[in-house]
Structure formats: C-alpha cells, structure tokens
C-alpha cells in the first residue's frame, strides 16, 4: 500500500535583485513522480542542485509546489483524527534545528505533547526516556543543552524529536553528510532499526549513491529537477538504464582492501 504518491511535482522560484526587481525564475522541480510504500525506505540521490531538498520540503509542507499534487493515504489522516503533518523532517545540520536555549527534556516534552495531543504538564518523564532510548541516548541527556553533544548525538536528538511527533513518514535530508564516516555508519544503522522496529516509512536523501543503496529498498535518481530513473534499489545499482545513474555508480571509489 502506498502511503504517499507524488504526481508531476513542479516548483518554480522567482529571482529578485537587490532592489526587489524580478530577474527571472528558476525551475527547481520539473514534474517529478514518485511513491512511498508503507514501511519502505525510499532513497533519493543526486548532485547538489538536483532538487532533492526542495522535494523534501514540499513533502513536509515547508514549501508549496507550483503545480502537481501529493496524495496521502486517507488512512493517515483518519487515524485518531490526526491534526499534525504525517511527515517529519530530519535536517542535515541538526544544531540549526535545535533550540540552544532549551534542554533536551523540554524540547522532547513539547514534541510529545504535540504528537500525542496532550497537555505539556501531563507528559511523564518515562515517556521522555522512551524517546531517548529509541535513538540510543541515556536518560541523563534530558538535562543537557544541544551544545553539550557531539555531531552524531545532535543528529540522534533531531531524529528523537521527529519521532516524538508520531509521524507516518520520516524525511531525512542528507542526515549523515556532515558526520565522520564511523558516525555515519551508526546513524544509518539507527535509521534502519527505526524503519524495521516501528514499521515507519522513510525517505533518505543523499548525494552519495553508495550510501543510499546501503539502506534503501527503492531509489529515485534526480538531476536538474527531473527524475531520471526510479525503481527497486537492486535494479538501479545492478542494471542502471540512465547515463547519469551510471556516472554516479562509476564515481564511487573502489575500496582496495575488498
């Protein structure tokens, strides 16, 4: 079952000069089709400027498409009379999305309150601990501030806050590109575990097709605002049909130790 389907998604940004004069338009998305099945990880890959992040922001309603439509499963909005958006985003720079003046406990309390539609004061500390446990952080983290965590831990906090809102779709926009390789592996493993244990659909966005292929069941390859190839991950990696996809695969460095 599809939980989300995108049809002919197009986004045009206007360009303005220093004095507000119109300098033309930039077409960031040029009619992109995709779908996300229940419980799958859809990888979206492409170079910088291909439209990946714009598509992610449209899915999360942070941007409005110029044309085209997003079709959500009716079940998503009828469950418990859902008022929150069914998709939540994990950003590339977690520190930029975390309020430095709030403790982790308070941020999670706010998120759980919104996700469960309960008063802030009714959120028990046990619920906060459960959310932290989901991302591999200890209870003591509740009393700390974002600047006291490493880059990988901040990304775990970003994921925890998104999960606290009870989404049906987790949109991860380049969540490992700013992290060390060893930490990248830990975050990828965490996303896979969340997908498996919670049966949560995930969109994973990256410019590295090797990283995308490691965790995705389906892959959407984008270039210059268009979807140049879309299908099962195994087919895309082993039998690419688009010349651009072949270039992405050929650009992956060979490990001399394998």
**Burial bucket for residue 76 (CB in 10 Å: 0-12, 13-18, 19+):** middle
- Residues 6 or more apart whose Cβ sits within 8 Å of residue 182: none
The confidence score (pLDDT) of residue 115 equals 80
pLDDT of residue 78: 57
Q: What is the pLDDT of residue 82?
A: 56
For residue 22, the cross-strand partners are 16
Mean pLDDT of 99-122: 88
* pLDDT band at residue 258 under the 50/70/90 scheme: very low
Beta strands 218-223; 87-90: pairing state: unpaired
Which residue is associated with the tokens 């338009």?
25
Structure-token pair, residue 24: 């033309």
Higher pLDDT, 95 or 219: 219
User: Quick one: pLDDT band at residue 257, thresholds 50, 70, 90?
Assistant: very low
3-state secondary structure of 192: helix
Please compute the mean of the pLDDT values over residues 229-258 and round it to a whole number: 84
Q: What would the pLDDT profile of 35-88 be if each residue is shown by its tens digit?
A: 999 999 999 999 999 999 999 999 999 999 999 999 998 766 555 555 678 999
């Amino acid at each position: 079952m599809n939980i989300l389907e995108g049809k002919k998604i197009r986004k045009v940004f206007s360009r303005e000069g220093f004095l507000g004069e119109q300098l033309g338009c930039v077409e960031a998305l040029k009619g992109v089709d995709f779908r996300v099945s229940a419980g799958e990880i859809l990888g979206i890959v492409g170079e910088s400027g291909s439209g990946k992040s714009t598509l992610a922001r449209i899915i999360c309603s942070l941007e409005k498409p110029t044309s085209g439509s997003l079709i959500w499963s009716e079940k998503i909005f009828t469950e418990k009379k859902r008022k929150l958006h069914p998709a939540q985003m994990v950003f590339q720079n977690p520190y930029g999305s975390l309020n430095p003046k709030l403790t982790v406990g308070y941020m999670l309390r706010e998120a759980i309150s919104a996700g469960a539609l309960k008063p802030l004061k009714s959120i028990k500390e046990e619920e906060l601990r459960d959310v932290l446990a989901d991302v591999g952080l200890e209870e003591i983290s509740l009393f700390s501030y974002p600047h006291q965590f490493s880059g990988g831990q901040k990304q775990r906090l970003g994921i925890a806050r998104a999960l606290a809102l009870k989404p049906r779709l987790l949109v991860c926009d380049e969540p490992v590109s700013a992290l060390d390789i060893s930490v990248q592996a830990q975050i990828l493993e965490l996303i896979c575990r969340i997908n498996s244990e919670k049966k949560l659909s995930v969109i994973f966005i990256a410019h590295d097709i090797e990283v995308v292929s490691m965790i995705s069941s389906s892959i959407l390859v984008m270039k210059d605002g268009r979807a140049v190839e879309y299908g099962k991950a195994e087919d895309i990696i082993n039998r690419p049909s688009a010349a651009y996809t072949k270039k992405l695969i050929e650009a992956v460095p060979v490990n001399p130790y394998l």
